[in-house]
Amino acid sequence: MSITNTIHFRNVKGDIFGGLTAAVIALPMALTFGVASGAGASSGLWGAILIGFFAALFGGTPTLISEPTGPMTVVMTSVIASLTAANPEQGLAMAFTVVMLAGVFQILFGVFKLGKYVTLMPYTVISGFMSGIGVILIILQIAPFLGQASPKGGVIGTVQNLPTLIGSINPLETLLAVITVAILFFYPRKLKKYMPPQLLALIVGSLIAVFLFGDADIRRIGEISVGLPSLQVPTFSAAQLRVMFVDALVLAMLGCIDALLTSLVADSLTRTEHNSNKELIGQGLGNLVSGLFGGIAGAGATMGTVVNIQSGGRTAVSGLTRALVLLVVVLGLSQYLQGIPLAVLAGIALKVGIDIVDWGFLKRAHKISVKAALIMYGVIALTVFVDLIVAVGVGVFVANILTIERLSNHRADKVKAITYDDEEIDLKPEEKQLLEEANGRVLLFYLSGPMIFGVAKAISREHNLINDYRALVLDLSEVPILGVTSSLALENAIQEAVEKGRHVFLVGVSGQAESRLRKLGVMDIVSPDNIMSDRITALKEAVMSVEPYKTEHRSEV
């Protein structure tokens, strides 16, 4: 796989500084997400290193910084909790296998060039999904924020145990968490270019814990293994195999959405265009290797990417630099990270959850569209209290159904069946005269624009409204796309007309519409002499075809 288009050394100074800055931000976030996931600080660090390195090396967005993110951590937390509950001995190894499978899925998405479809999702669903994930992350930090271990049962378990958690609060740890959140909220924006607020909060919280609460019973990160991680053998359980595949698919899809949305942010900042399919392959390789070595899943991180670009990063060298800096920290300075209080990490994670929630859209969604707001709130509720896949599936289904309804209603207005002059159709004077001469015996069936399946009902309705005609002129000259359902509706109309002895003329059938009708055999129903390219000619032939009927009808009268 070629990597020459993402790596060059014409911007070494900017890339190295961008990578260093991104590494400074990545350190507290990797520790936070590793602990929050339940896999441990080491897994967060190795996930940040391995995903960041391989995604930068093989990805399609030169400035993208990849690492464990809030949304991926929420799913990872659920995966670890459910698998370890079902299989305490092998659950964590199975969770890392899920990360590997997610990487494989992402690689397959890239190989089959599905990148352009990943983000084709209504914003109401994306907003609701991300806000729901933010709410989950906030709820899951309540217990460590109050100085206690997280209760079993995830979100539901935490909500049910809120009275107990509040009643058993650890004042010192809660104070550390509050200080952490205060630093993150009130940190001056102009100082962020000198030191990230997350790192400052980590340092301040740790120093307070050491010098003021040194002898107090405060929960800390604990031992972080020094040295390279051991290889994780893929582990499966027959009873959990289906669940593992579903979890891997969720992680893969979420990682793809997270990464490609961040790639769009990077494009807007650098005025470049990323390769989405190549990026998915890079993300997949990063997660595959991360899982193999006991790291948690990750994706493109907006914060790290923006900081990298603002600090001068322009090529994948910045992402590689960041990964190498973190590697040095893990191998040489890990002993200094062991005393970091868990409450400080909970405060950082809580702020991440708050930032993930789409507050801007939440405030104005109801003003834009009540239906859109209801979809978003529904997705949030399903994400928090039911399941991530169910939330996305239901949200996309409902949003698409509403969209199809609007499009169908709009396109239905473009289906016109007329026997006389109609002001809504731009007819030439000669065409109007021909319809007048036909005296209602020629039915002009006019369609325009894409005919999606929702328009089939309108085709049948318009055709059935007018039965007393002798010739049918079907004008498809302005139909670029003809859906299968609409094609079948046209077939029924043509078949019915032929069976009743009426003359049928097709006008302007070309391109995809012609191909579709030929494959369905519709073109064979109509006489080749009656397939024309000009509407006026077709109307003339139609009028001539009904003249004998008009003469015969007059003689009978």
Q: Does residue 120 register a pLDDT over 50?
A: yes
Cβ neighbours of 103 (radius 10 Å): 28
The letter for the amino acid at 341 is P
> Is there a single domain that holds both residue 84 and residue 155?
yes
Q: Does residue 257 register a pLDDT over 60?
A: yes
Residue 113, CA distances (Å) to 93, 269, 285, 325, 416 in order: 30, 25, 16, 33, 40
Q: Provide the total of helices (H) and of strands (E) in the chain, helices listed first.
A: 25, 7
**Residue 159 structure tokens:** 């909500």
Model pLDDT, residue 2: 43
Paired sense of beta strands 503-507 and 471-478, if any:
parallel
Is residue 490 within 8 Å of 459, Cβ to Cβ? yes
Average pLDDT, the chain: 86
Q: What is the CA radius of gyration of the chain?
A: 32
More confident residue, 314 or 557: 314
Model pLDDT, residue 5: 44
- Give, for 476, the enclosing helix (H) or strand (E): strand 471-478
Per residue in 528-551, pLDDT (tens digit) is 889 988 888 888 988 888 775 544
Model pLDDT, residue 208: 92
Last residue of a domain, one of 402, 434, 464: 402
> Is there a single domain that holds both residue 390 and residue 437?
no
Is residue 232 within 8 Å of 50, Cβ to Cβ? no
Q: Indicate which CATH number applies to the domain containing 433.
A: 3.30.750.24
Residue 259: pLDDT band by 50, 70, 90 thresholds? very high
Structural domain count of the chain: 2
Residue 456, CA distances (Å) to 172, 396, 411, 459, 525 in order: 67, 23, 10, 5, 19
> Is there a single domain that holds both residue 51 and residue 160?
yes
Residue 462: pLDDT band by 50, 70, 90 thresholds? low
Per residue in 71-107, pLDDT (tens digit) is 999 999 999 999 999 899 999 999 999 999 999 999 9
| 130-139, 424-433, 471-480: the lowest-pLDDT one | 424-433
Model pLDDT, residue 215: 75
pTM of the shown model: 0.77
> Is there a single domain that holds both residue 382 and residue 295?
yes
Q: Which long-range contacts (CB under 8 A, 24 or more apart) does 481-485 make?
A: 481/450, 481/451, 481/452, 481/512, 481/513, 482/451, 482/512, 482/513, 482/516, 482/517, 483/450, 483/451, 483/452, 483/453, 483/455, 483/456, 484/453, 484/516, 484/520, 485/452, 485/453, 485/456
Is residue 472 within 8 Å of 541, Cβ to Cβ? no
Model pLDDT, residue 341: 92
Report d(CA 48, CA 297) in Å as an integer. 9
Angle between helices 70-86 and 123-140 (to 10 degrees): 60
> Is there a single domain that holds both residue 295 and residue 393?
yes
Residue 414: pLDDT band by 50, 70, 90 thresholds? low
**Share above pLDDT 70 across residues of the chain, in percent, rounded to a whole number:** 90
Q: Does residue 451 register a pLDDT over 80?
A: no
| Residue among 502, 492, 436, 484 at smallest CA distance from 460 | 492
Report d(CA 64, CA 58) in Å as an integer. 11
Q: What is the edge-to-edge ordering of all strands in the sheet holding 442-448?
A: 415-418, 442-448, 471-478, 503-507, 531-532
Angle between helices 316-333 and 12-37 (to 10 degrees): 50
| Neighbour-count burial for 344-369, b at 16+ CB within 10 Å, e otherwise | bbbbbbbbbbbebbbeebbeebeeee
Q: What angle do CA 387, 392, 397 make, to 5 degrees?
A: 125
> Is there a single domain that holds both residue 391 and residue 500?
no
What secondary structure letter does DSSP report for 335? G
> Is there a single domain that holds both residue 373 and residue 421?
no
Model pLDDT, residue 554: 41
Q: Is residue 7 part of a domain?
A: no
Q: Does residue 332 register a pLDDT over 60?
A: yes
Cβ neighbours of 116 (radius 10 Å): 10
Q: Is residue 455 part of a domain?
A: yes
Residues in the chain: 557
> Is there a single domain that holds both residue 41 and residue 135?
yes
Q: Does residue 51 register a pLDDT over 90?
A: yes
Model pLDDT, residue 557: 39
| Neighbour-count burial for 295-326, b at 16+ CB within 10 Å, e otherwise | bbbbbbbbbbbbbbbebbbbbbbbbbbbbebb
Residue 261: pLDDT band by 50, 70, 90 thresholds? confident
Q: Is residue 544 part of a domain?
A: yes
Q: Does residue 241 register a pLDDT over 60?
A: yes
Last residue of a domain, one of 370, 402, 434: 402
More confident residue, 271 or 463: 271
Residue 282: pLDDT band by 50, 70, 90 thresholds? very high
Model pLDDT, residue 423: 54
Model pLDDT, residue 117: 79
Residue 438: pLDDT band by 50, 70, 90 thresholds? confident
Per residue in 495-510, pLDDT (tens digit) is 888 888 888 999 988 8
Per residue in 169-216, pLDDT (tens digit) is 999 999 999 999 999 999 998 887 778 898 899 999 999 998 888 777
Q: Is residue 5 part of a domain?
A: no
Collapsed DSSP state (helix, strand, coil) of residue 418: strand
Per residue in 479-499, pLDDT (tens digit) is 888 888 888 888 888 888 888
> Is there a single domain that holds both residue 498 and residue 398?
no
> Is there a single domain that holds both residue 374 and residue 432?
no
Model pLDDT, residue 3: 45
Q: Is residue 443 part of a domain?
A: yes
> Is there a single domain that holds both residue 471 and residue 497?
yes
Q: Is residue 238 part of a domain?
A: yes
**Residue 167 structure tokens:** 């009643």
Q: What is the mean pLDDT of residues 60-66?
A: 95
Cβ neighbours of 524 (radius 10 Å): 10
Q: Does residue 424 register a pLDDT over 60?
A: no
Q: Is residue 6 part of a domain?
A: no
> Is there a single domain that holds both residue 62 and residue 144?
yes
Q: Is residue 522 part of a domain?
A: yes
Domain range holding 241?
Answer: 12-354+361-402
